């Protein structure tokens, strides 16, 4: 048996990152380099205003034109450091919430189609058929997101703490209800520690 290291790759990058500064043509920016639309999620039971993360969104057509070269380099670098990569906010590759940059919160926005299968097919061509990816599939997940995950054979995530407390006996986060193909975590950055 061997120990493997799981890395983490967020779907979005920070506005003040070197990536956005040096590759402005890959992001939804205006002539001054300011974002025209930003990332987030719509209102839900956790946040009545939604979550306005403020990350610039991608010009997916430009990424597609380059064969997703920037993403291939990003994954290559991560896989030099770890054995598997958890993609944070995996659902954004199927559809993402686009918020006009001038909006103070995420109530006003719209779902936009992500790059979907073509993105992961490009990664497969560059990195191999069996991508070492874990899909963070928590929150509002549609059948389309589950289908994208399953077409590429990515394990999803289960959170042990979500299965207990007020959870029902049929909760898919209870260990005895897990599907075979998943990765279990005790909690996420939104949870207290298990001891807590």
Looking at the DSSP bridge assignments, the partners of residue 183 are: 157
Q: Alpha carbon of 126 to those of 3, 37, 50, 75, 139: distances in Å?
A: 25, 30, 36, 10, 30
Q: Active-site residue 88, yes or no?
A: yes
At 97, give phi and psi (nearest 5°). Answer: -90, 120
DSSP class of 193: P
Choosing from 19, 88, 105, 144, the catalytic residue is 88
Choosing from 28, 94, 98, 136, the catalytic residue is 136
Q: Active-site residue 190, yes or no?
A: yes
Q: Active-site residue 105, yes or no?
A: no
Beta-carbon count within 10 A of 91 CB: 25
Inter-residue contact 6 to 85 (CB < 8 Å)? yes
Looking at the DSSP bridge assignments, the partners of residue 9 are: 87
Q: Which residues have a catalytic role annotated?
A: 88, 136, 190
């Amino acid at each position: 048996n061997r120990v493997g290291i799981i890395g983490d790759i967020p779907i979005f990058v920070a506005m003040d990152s070197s990536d956005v500064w040096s590759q402005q043509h890959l992001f939804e920016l205006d002539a001054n380099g300011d974002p025209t639309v930003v990332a987030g999620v719509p209102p839900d039971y956790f946040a009545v205003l939604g979550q306005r993360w403020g990350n610039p969104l991608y010009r997916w057509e430009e990424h597609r034109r380059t064969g997703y070269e920037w993403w291939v380099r990003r994954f290559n670098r991560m896989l030099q450091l770890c054995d598997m990569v958890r993609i944070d906010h995996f659902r954004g590759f199927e559809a993402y919430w686009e918020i006009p940059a001038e909006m103070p919160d995420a109530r006003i926005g719209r779902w936009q189609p992500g790059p979907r299968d073509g993105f992961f097919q490009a990664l497969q061509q560059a990195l191999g058929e069996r991508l070492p990816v874990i899909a963070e599939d928590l929150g509002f997940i549609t059948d389309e997101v589950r289908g994208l995950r399953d077409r590429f054979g990515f394990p999803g995530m289960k959170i042990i703490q979500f299965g207990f407390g007020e959870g029902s006996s049929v909760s898919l986060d209870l260990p005895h209800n897990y599907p075979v193909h998943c990765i279990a975590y005790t909690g996420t950055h939104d949870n207290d520690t298990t001891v807590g």
